[in-house]
Chains A and B, each alone.
Chain A
Amino acid sequence: MIMPLAEIMIAVMWAGLTAYVLFAGADFGGGVWDLLAGGSRTGQHRRALIEHSIGPVWEANHVWLIFVIVLMWTGIPGVFAAVASTLYIPLTLAALGIIARGAAFAFRKVSTELWQRRLFGAAFAFSSVATPFFLGTVAGALASGRVPAGIAKGDIVSSWVNPTSAMSGALAVGTAAYLAAAYLTRDAQRAGEDGLAEEFRHRALVCGAVVGLMSAAGLLVLRADAPRLFDALTAGRALPLLVLSIAAGLVSLVLLWRRAYRAVRLTAALAVTGLLWGWGVGQYPHLLPGVTLDEAAATDSVLAATLGSLAVGAVLLLPSLWWLYATFQRGHTEARESRPSR
């Protein structure tokens, strides 16, 4: 073999997953805070900030999920089939959550009457909590080796109703909420809403502490429920990533305390990234119990064609993305200046 195509493919997929968790995860977290924002009047400001900061980006962020799914069925088709068939209940619920959330969010933005905004807002906020939870249970099922190879060979209930899944579901919601609160502090600050920035700072601190405790408890759950992964994380090759995650998490809390909101974006993202890659590295090369990456990977011709196309696509995409952000960074200030004259 000339190039480890399967390894490249799984790394690209994991990078896509990381992007999804960091970007779309924060959008989901925005929905969690929307749910907790308070009554229609008192919560108005918070909701407006949340809506403003996720509005332009959530669709692009959402494409990362499709990217991961498609890469999964292309690159490791048997694993995709095993996961989807055994875990079809949480995946169906997550899919419905995604549809309810995206549609309700778009509808709320164009609605003006209070009852409509409340109704769509409730659907949006509720599904923002449910969706990451169910996706988290799926991660837990994989991490604890409860999805055997083959089609629908696992237990359709206990595969995702178990300690590890419960822990990772809760952790997914908590992480989303934490990322969102940390990002929103900076958004609020940039919008000149210092009061809101303080509020979200407070929330991020509390939420960060809770997520940190949850992760610690999670390690204990793993020790009992998924000893292989636990060993890799605490004594094996994934240890550096776990250390990175913990360190970045602690630094984030300090930075939040000191109101260094810009730097927090980076460290909060690092903490989450460390956790995700720690899991990936800890589990590698096993994707499912007894199934290694090389056994599961698609043929080289498929991997080469797909990775090659993605590389060409990236050449088109990166300048476009750059232009998107450039246009709006510039446009933003102009729009703001012209506002009072209306």
Chain B
Amino acid sequence: MLVGAGDADLGAARMQMALSLGWHIVLACLGVGMPAITLLAEWRGHRGGDVHYRLLARRWARAMGVLFAVGAVSGTILSFEMGLLWPGLMGVYGQVIGLPFALEGIAFFIEAIFLGIYLYAWDRLSPVAHMLTGIPIVLAGVASAFFVVTANAWMQQPTGFQVSGGRVVAVDPWAAMFNPATPPQTVHMILAAFMVAGFGIASVYAVAMLRGRRDRYHRLGLLLPLTVAAVITPVQIGVGDWAAHFVADNQPVKLAAMEGVFHTQRGVPLHLGGIAVDGEMRYALEIPYGLSLLAHWNPHAEVMGLDRVPFADQPPVNVVHWAFQIMVGLGFALLALSAWLAVAWIRRRDLPRSPWFLRGAAASGVAAVLALEAGWTVTEVGRQPWIVYGVLRTSAAVNPAPGLVWGFVLVTLVYAVLTVATVYVLRRLARDRPVPVAPQDPDVDDERVV
């Protein structure tokens, strides 16, 4: 249960936040990862003179124009919602996390300016100058992901302020931004963005190849983004391990929920699968000493269980546990796909021949997005019932005004329509027909990409 025991408005507010964030994050990942991959293609096309790379770069740039617009408006909703839904958080702590958001604003401006130049000035700048205009987009995208995730990391490990009489005093905004959770979370998130973009683009071309379009254009469209994602995947798993150790040391209640540990003890087994019923993990595959070993590098280490905190302070175990299993499971599945590609490439300088490889690649984009959403579910639901860990409860932060449920209904409807429209428009864009090179610019529709 996501909603927990609170009243209907609190539940609605949480669902609304989860929906809008979960939606925005997918576009944000593409906004962070796609410019780099597009630039890579453009550079290869320039260096090697292979026209297919250049065509791919143009096509991806066109999609980026639409994605950026939708990402921008969905992000705007979020900044409204921070206040509409969580005034108890923002009214007191808004100033503590304001700095990274202000820095993010600068990054957005840079991104918007250079995206404008990159998309519109393709034929007006020399190839090298054009590629150089892409670099600020990449940097600003990564920077904005970094800044916003520091704000989330602060909610996990709040530092840099003192509270006195209901007001924060002695705020050190830099200490709040560089809180202990910032390094593992930001690195893990930025790598996730590149995985989502890499596997996501690759899966479009894998589907096309499964339908028989195996020309060089489609092969390269698969190979380049897939290679990027495949190189990052093993690193990401290492960083995930870092994140898990961090949680084990600093948010033991979250770890207990992730692993379904109800009783504090030594030599705790690792639970694979299973359902939590009445304070017990049932039907799980147990690996003896597994968790003690993984979390603390010692088979006899003590792991804190949920019995150490009152029931009112426990996050919902099944959601967190399953979300964690899904993320890790998908992470290893993507690692297997990456390894397959690596082996075939080292042996024969070619893609694996099996159609199962293409099927796997076709599914990899969805898998990466699911891993991303699952990871955020672990982080955010595992933090419950706190909105600022150990400092402020979610129920104390929510807007007490009546009728939030209706807002949630309305927002859900709008997002449903928006999803359908976005997918529809992107699918149209992917077809082979002349479309504007710069999507905002209707008068360049005679510059076709074929």
Contacts and interface: CB of A to CB of B under 8 A. Distances in A.
A51 B171 CA distance: 46
Nearest to A60: B112
A290 interface: no
Contact of A103 (B88, B93, B174, B418): B418
A324 B106 contact: no
B287 to A, nearest CB: 46
A60 B116 contact: yes
Interface in A68-82: 69-71, 73-75, 77-78, 80-82
A107 B425 contact: yes
Contacts of A220: none
A310 B73 contact: no
Contacts of B70: 102-103, 106
Contacts of A156: 401-403
Nearest to A301: B171
Interface in A53-85: 55-56, 59-60, 62-63, 65-67, 69-71, 73-75, 77-78, 80-85
Contact of A92 (B80, B94, B109, B402): B80
Residue picked from B82, B109, B414, B425, most chain A C-beta under 10 Å: B109
B366 interface: no
Where chain A touches its partner, the secondary structure class is helix
Nearest to A324: B113
Contact of A75 (B66, B98, B436): B98
Interface string B38-81: 00000000000000000000000000011011101111110111
Interface in A264-312: 298-299, 301-302, 305-306, 309-310
B159 interface: no
Contacts of A111: 425, 428
B92 A99 contact: no
Nearest to B426: A110
Given A82-B87, A317-B109, A110 B171 contact: no
Nearest to A150: B91
Contact of A66 (B74, B105, B446): B105
Interface string B99-126: 1011111101110111011001100110
Contact of A306 (B116, B173, B440): B173
A60 B113 contact: yes
A100 interface: yes
Given A77-B93, A107-B421, A63 B99 contact: no
B66 A110 contact: yes
B99 A100 contact: no
Nearest to A107: B425
B108 A88 contact: no
A118 to B, nearest CB: 14
B91 A320 contact: no
Contact of B108 (A56, A63, A310): A63
Contacts of A313: 103, 105-106, 109
Contacts of B103: 309, 313
A78 B102 contact: no
Interface residues of A, number: 73
A66 B401 contact: no
Contacts of B72: 59, 62-63, 102
Interface in B173-192: 173-174
B264 interface: no
A205 B404 CA distance: 43
Contacts of A110: 66, 425, 428-429, 435-436, 439
A301 B446 CA distance: 54
A210 interface: no
B443 interface: yes
A85 B117 contact: no
Given A70-B102, A77-B93, A151-B400, 11 more contacts: A56-B440, A73-B94, A77-B92, A80-B94, A82-B91, A86-B401, A102-B73, A106-B65, A309-B102, A309-B106, A310-B102
27 contacts: A56-B441, A63-B109, A66-B75, A66-B79, A69-B79, A73-B83, A74-B98, A74-B101, A75-B98, A81-B88, A82-B87, A84-B80, A92-B84, A95-B81, A98-B73, A100-B414, A106-B440, A109-B440, A110-B436, A298-B95, A302-B99, A305-B99, A306-B99, A310-B102, A317-B110, A327-B117, A334-B124
Interface of B: 65-66, 68-70, 72-77, 79-84, 87-88, 90-96, 98-99, 101-106, 108-110, 112-114, 116-117, 120-121, 124-125, 136, 168-174, 399-404, 407, 410-411, 414, 418, 421-422, 425, 428-429, 435-436, 439-444, 446
**7 A-B pairs with least C-beta separation:** A74-B98, A81-B91, A84-B83, A313-B106, A77-B94, A73-B94, A106-B69
Interface of A: 48, 51-52, 55-56, 59-60, 62-63, 65-67, 69-71, 73-75, 77-78, 80-86, 88-89, 91-92, 94-96, 98-107, 109-111, 120, 151-152, 156, 298-299, 301-302, 305-306, 309-310, 313, 316-317, 320-321, 323-324, 327-328, 330-331, 334-335, 342
